[in-house]
Amino acid sequence: MDQEKLKELLKSVRNGDLDIQQAVECLKTLPYQDLGFAKIDTHRALRRGFPEVVFCEGKTVDQAVAILESMTENYSTVLGMRARPEIAEALKTKRVLFTYHPEARAIVIGEKPPVRYEGLILIVSAGTADMPVAEEAFLTAEALGNRVEKIYDAGVAGVHRLLAHSRKLRTARVLVVVAGMEGALPGVVGGLVDKPVIAVPTSVGYGTNFQGLSALLTMLNTCVPGIAVVNIDNGFGAGYMAAMINRLAEEKTDTDR
Protein backbone atom coordinates (compact mmCIF):
# COMPACT_ATOMS: atom_id res chain seq x y z
CA MET A 1 0.00 0.00 0.00
CA ASP A 2 1.39 3.40 -0.96
CA GLN A 3 1.10 6.61 1.06
CA GLU A 4 -1.75 8.05 -1.01
CA LYS A 5 -3.91 4.95 -0.58
CA LEU A 6 -3.19 4.90 3.15
CA LYS A 7 -4.16 8.57 3.48
CA GLU A 8 -7.43 7.91 1.68
CA LEU A 9 -8.11 4.96 3.98
CA LEU A 10 -7.50 7.04 7.11
CA LYS A 11 -9.67 9.87 5.78
CA SER A 12 -12.50 7.38 5.20
CA VAL A 13 -12.25 6.22 8.83
CA ARG A 14 -12.17 9.81 10.10
CA ASN A 15 -15.21 10.76 8.01
CA GLY A 16 -17.18 7.71 9.11
CA ASP A 17 -17.32 6.20 5.62
CA LEU A 18 -15.36 3.17 6.85
CA ASP A 19 -15.47 1.54 10.26
CA ILE A 20 -12.39 0.39 12.15
CA GLN A 21 -12.86 -3.30 11.39
CA GLN A 22 -13.12 -2.60 7.67
CA ALA A 23 -9.92 -0.58 7.87
CA VAL A 24 -8.20 -3.46 9.68
CA GLU A 25 -9.25 -5.78 6.84
CA CYS A 26 -7.66 -3.40 4.34
CA LEU A 27 -4.42 -3.34 6.33
CA LYS A 28 -4.20 -7.00 7.30
CA THR A 29 -1.62 -7.83 4.61
CA LEU A 30 0.87 -5.38 6.11
CA PRO A 31 3.81 -5.68 6.31
CA TYR A 32 3.82 -8.52 3.77
CA GLN A 33 1.54 -10.89 1.91
CA ASP A 34 2.56 -14.55 2.02
CA LEU A 35 1.99 -16.43 -1.24
CA GLY A 36 3.80 -19.52 0.03
CA PHE A 37 6.67 -19.35 -2.49
CA ALA A 38 7.05 -15.58 -2.11
CA LYS A 39 6.40 -12.88 0.48
CA ILE A 40 5.31 -9.61 -1.11
CA ASP A 41 6.55 -6.54 0.77
CA THR A 42 3.34 -4.51 0.89
CA HIS A 43 4.90 -2.09 3.38
CA ARG A 44 7.80 -0.96 1.22
CA ALA A 45 6.14 2.11 -0.30
CA LEU A 46 5.42 3.43 3.21
CA ARG A 47 9.04 2.89 4.26
CA ARG A 48 10.84 3.94 1.10
CA GLY A 49 8.39 6.01 -0.93
CA PHE A 50 8.26 3.53 -3.82
CA PRO A 51 6.67 0.06 -3.97
CA GLU A 52 8.49 -3.23 -4.45
CA VAL A 53 9.48 -4.04 -8.03
CA VAL A 54 9.28 -7.63 -9.31
CA PHE A 55 12.49 -9.11 -10.72
CA CYS A 56 11.04 -11.75 -13.05
CA GLU A 57 14.29 -13.38 -14.15
CA GLY A 58 14.69 -16.83 -12.58
CA LYS A 59 11.00 -17.11 -11.69
CA THR A 60 8.63 -19.50 -13.42
CA VAL A 61 5.85 -17.99 -15.50
CA ASP A 62 3.26 -18.99 -12.89
CA GLN A 63 5.28 -17.49 -10.04
CA ALA A 64 5.86 -14.19 -11.83
CA VAL A 65 2.22 -13.86 -12.86
CA ALA A 66 0.95 -14.69 -9.36
CA ILE A 67 3.21 -12.07 -7.77
CA LEU A 68 2.38 -9.37 -10.32
CA GLU A 69 -1.36 -10.05 -10.10
CA SER A 70 -1.32 -10.01 -6.30
CA MET A 71 0.55 -6.70 -6.19
CA THR A 72 -2.21 -4.98 -8.17
CA GLU A 73 -4.41 -5.29 -5.07
CA ASN A 74 -2.25 -2.70 -3.29
CA TYR A 75 -0.70 -0.59 -6.03
CA SER A 76 -2.09 1.21 -9.07
CA THR A 77 1.23 0.81 -10.91
CA VAL A 78 3.32 -2.37 -10.74
CA LEU A 79 6.67 -2.98 -12.43
CA GLY A 80 8.02 -6.34 -13.59
CA MET A 81 11.63 -6.20 -14.79
CA ARG A 82 13.60 -8.70 -16.91
CA ALA A 83 10.29 -10.25 -17.94
CA ARG A 84 10.23 -12.86 -20.69
CA PRO A 85 7.57 -12.61 -23.43
CA GLU A 86 5.80 -15.72 -22.11
CA ILE A 87 5.12 -13.96 -18.81
CA ALA A 88 3.39 -11.17 -20.72
CA GLU A 89 1.42 -13.75 -22.71
CA ALA A 90 0.25 -15.44 -19.50
CA LEU A 91 -0.83 -12.09 -18.04
CA LYS A 92 -3.25 -11.64 -20.93
CA THR A 93 -5.46 -14.32 -19.37
CA LYS A 94 -5.82 -12.23 -16.19
CA ARG A 95 -7.96 -9.18 -15.53
CA VAL A 96 -4.93 -6.94 -15.60
CA LEU A 97 -4.29 -3.85 -17.71
CA PHE A 98 -0.61 -3.86 -18.67
CA THR A 99 1.93 -2.93 -21.32
CA TYR A 100 4.87 -5.12 -22.26
CA HIS A 101 8.02 -3.36 -23.45
CA PRO A 102 10.08 -6.04 -25.22
CA GLU A 103 13.21 -3.94 -25.72
CA ALA A 104 13.47 -3.19 -22.00
CA ARG A 105 12.04 -6.62 -21.07
CA ALA A 106 9.67 -4.81 -18.73
CA ILE A 107 6.00 -5.11 -17.80
CA VAL A 108 4.16 -2.03 -16.55
CA ILE A 109 0.81 -2.84 -15.00
CA GLY A 110 -1.76 -0.05 -14.79
CA GLU A 111 -2.15 3.29 -16.50
CA LYS A 112 0.84 5.54 -17.02
CA PRO A 113 1.26 7.17 -13.59
CA PRO A 114 0.90 10.93 -13.24
CA VAL A 115 4.04 13.03 -12.82
CA ARG A 116 4.61 13.58 -9.10
CA TYR A 117 8.03 15.21 -9.31
CA GLU A 118 8.64 18.04 -11.76
CA GLY A 119 12.43 17.88 -11.90
CA LEU A 120 13.64 16.40 -15.19
CA ILE A 121 15.42 13.05 -15.29
CA LEU A 122 17.37 12.74 -18.53
CA ILE A 123 18.45 9.37 -19.91
CA VAL A 124 21.44 9.56 -22.25
CA SER A 125 22.75 6.53 -24.14
CA ALA A 126 25.86 6.13 -26.24
CA GLY A 127 24.71 3.84 -29.04
CA THR A 128 21.70 2.00 -30.37
CA ALA A 129 22.97 -1.24 -28.82
CA ASP A 130 22.75 0.39 -25.38
CA MET A 131 19.06 1.22 -25.79
CA PRO A 132 17.62 -1.83 -23.96
CA VAL A 133 19.40 -0.82 -20.74
CA ALA A 134 18.53 2.84 -21.29
CA GLU A 135 14.88 1.92 -21.82
CA GLU A 136 14.88 -0.06 -18.57
CA ALA A 137 16.10 3.06 -16.76
CA PHE A 138 13.55 5.24 -18.56
CA LEU A 139 10.56 3.02 -17.75
CA THR A 140 11.63 2.66 -14.12
CA ALA A 141 11.95 6.39 -13.52
CA GLU A 142 8.71 7.11 -15.38
CA ALA A 143 6.73 4.46 -13.48
CA LEU A 144 7.89 6.02 -10.20
CA GLY A 145 6.20 9.31 -11.09
CA ASN A 146 8.95 11.32 -12.73
CA ARG A 147 9.21 13.53 -15.78
CA VAL A 148 11.68 11.65 -17.96
CA GLU A 149 13.19 12.45 -21.36
CA LYS A 150 15.90 10.74 -23.38
CA ILE A 151 18.78 11.45 -25.72
CA TYR A 152 19.87 8.34 -27.61
CA ASP A 153 22.78 7.55 -29.92
CA ALA A 154 25.02 10.34 -28.63
CA GLY A 155 28.28 8.51 -27.99
CA VAL A 156 31.76 10.01 -27.89
CA ALA A 157 32.67 8.68 -31.36
CA GLY A 158 30.53 11.54 -32.69
CA VAL A 159 30.57 13.91 -29.75
CA HIS A 160 28.91 16.68 -31.79
CA ARG A 161 25.68 14.66 -31.44
CA LEU A 162 25.89 15.09 -27.69
CA LEU A 163 26.92 18.75 -27.76
CA ALA A 164 23.88 19.54 -29.88
CA HIS A 165 21.86 18.80 -26.72
CA SER A 166 23.95 20.92 -24.34
CA ARG A 167 21.02 23.07 -23.26
CA LYS A 168 18.85 20.03 -22.51
CA LEU A 169 21.67 18.44 -20.51
CA ARG A 170 21.89 21.51 -18.28
CA THR A 171 18.14 21.61 -17.60
CA ALA A 172 18.06 18.11 -16.09
CA ARG A 173 17.99 17.65 -12.32
CA VAL A 174 19.71 14.26 -12.57
CA LEU A 175 21.14 12.36 -15.54
CA VAL A 176 21.44 8.65 -16.22
CA VAL A 177 24.18 7.96 -18.78
CA VAL A 178 24.37 4.52 -20.40
CA ALA A 179 27.39 3.33 -22.38
CA GLY A 180 29.25 0.18 -23.39
CA MET A 181 32.54 -0.24 -25.28
CA GLU A 182 35.10 1.81 -23.30
CA GLY A 183 32.39 3.61 -21.27
CA ALA A 184 33.67 7.16 -21.72
CA LEU A 185 30.33 8.94 -22.15
CA PRO A 186 29.43 9.55 -18.46
CA GLY A 187 32.73 11.37 -17.91
CA VAL A 188 32.09 13.63 -20.88
CA VAL A 189 28.54 14.40 -19.72
CA GLY A 190 29.71 14.92 -16.14
CA GLY A 191 32.19 17.53 -17.34
CA LEU A 192 29.39 19.52 -18.99
CA VAL A 193 26.80 19.70 -16.18
CA ASP A 194 26.50 20.67 -12.53
CA LYS A 195 24.01 17.90 -11.68
CA PRO A 196 24.47 14.34 -10.40
CA VAL A 197 25.25 11.76 -13.07
CA ILE A 198 24.46 8.07 -12.66
CA ALA A 199 26.66 6.00 -14.95
CA VAL A 200 25.48 2.63 -16.30
CA PRO A 201 28.02 0.36 -18.00
CA THR A 202 26.59 -2.08 -20.52
CA SER A 203 27.90 -5.43 -21.73
CA VAL A 204 28.06 -4.09 -25.31
CA GLY A 205 31.49 -4.25 -26.92
CA TYR A 206 34.23 -6.34 -28.49
CA GLY A 207 36.24 -9.01 -26.65
CA THR A 208 38.30 -6.71 -24.45
CA ASN A 209 35.11 -5.09 -23.23
CA PHE A 210 34.85 -8.26 -21.09
CA GLN A 211 31.03 -8.19 -21.06
CA GLY A 212 30.98 -4.65 -19.65
CA LEU A 213 33.89 -4.87 -17.23
CA SER A 214 36.06 -2.38 -19.15
CA ALA A 215 33.20 0.14 -19.26
CA LEU A 216 32.56 -0.38 -15.53
CA LEU A 217 36.22 0.24 -14.65
CA THR A 218 36.38 3.34 -16.86
CA MET A 219 33.35 4.80 -15.12
CA LEU A 220 34.68 3.95 -11.66
CA ASN A 221 38.03 5.55 -12.50
CA THR A 222 36.64 8.77 -13.96
CA CYS A 223 38.38 11.98 -12.94
CA VAL A 224 35.05 13.85 -13.08
CA PRO A 225 33.47 14.32 -9.62
CA GLY A 226 29.75 13.86 -9.08
CA ILE A 227 29.42 10.57 -10.96
CA ALA A 228 28.03 7.45 -9.28
CA VAL A 229 28.20 4.05 -10.98
CA VAL A 230 25.74 1.14 -10.87
CA ASN A 231 26.36 -2.45 -11.92
CA ILE A 232 26.70 -3.68 -15.50
CA ASP A 233 23.40 -3.49 -17.43
CA ASN A 234 21.55 -2.27 -14.31
CA GLY A 235 19.21 0.24 -15.94
CA PHE A 236 16.62 -0.45 -13.26
CA GLY A 237 18.99 0.48 -10.43
CA ALA A 238 19.98 3.70 -12.19
CA GLY A 239 16.37 4.71 -12.89
CA TYR A 240 15.40 3.99 -9.29
CA MET A 241 18.32 5.98 -7.87
CA ALA A 242 17.52 8.91 -10.16
CA ALA A 243 13.90 8.81 -8.94
CA MET A 244 15.03 8.89 -5.31
CA ILE A 245 17.31 11.89 -5.93
CA ASN A 246 14.53 13.70 -7.77
CA ARG A 247 11.99 13.01 -5.01
CA LEU A 248 14.31 14.22 -2.25
CA ALA A 249 15.14 17.38 -4.18
CA GLU A 250 11.43 18.03 -4.70
CA GLU A 251 10.62 17.50 -1.03
CA LYS A 252 13.43 19.85 0.01
CA THR A 253 12.13 22.50 -2.41
CA ASP A 254 8.63 22.17 -0.94
CA THR A 255 10.03 22.49 2.60
CA ASP A 256 12.00 25.62 1.68
CA ARG A 257 8.95 27.39 0.28
Domains of the chain and any CATH numbers: 16-109 (no CATH), 117-252 (3.40.50.1970)
Confidence (pLDDT) at 175: 98
pLDDT band at 28 (very low <50, low <70, confident <90, very high): low
What's the predicted TM-score (pTM) here? 0.83
**Residue 30 above 80 pLDDT?**
no
pLDDT digits (tens, 9 = 90+) for 60-71: 999 999 999 888
Q: What is the 3-state secondary structure (H, E, C) of the chain?
A: CCHHHHHHHHHHHHCCCCCHHHHHHHHCCCCEEECCCCEEECCHHHHHCCCCCEECCCCCHHHHHHHHHHHCCCCCCEEEECCCHHHHHHHCCCCCCEEEECCCCEEEECCCCCCCEEEEEEEEECCHHHHHHHHHHHHHHHHCCEEEEEECCCCHHHCHHHHCCHHHHHHCCEEEEEECCCCCHHHHHHCCCCCCEEEEECCCCCHHHHHHHHHHHHHHCCCCCCEEECCCCCHHHHHHHHHHHHHHHHHHHHHHC
Q: State the average pLDDT over residues 123-133.
A: 94
pLDDT digits (tens, 9 = 90+) for 173-194: 999 999 999 999 999 999 999 9
Mean pLDDT in the chain?
Answer: 88
pLDDT digits (tens, 9 = 90+) for 8-27: 878 888 888 888 887 777 66
Q: Which of 34-38, 44-48, 57-61 has the highest mean pLDDT?
A: 57-61
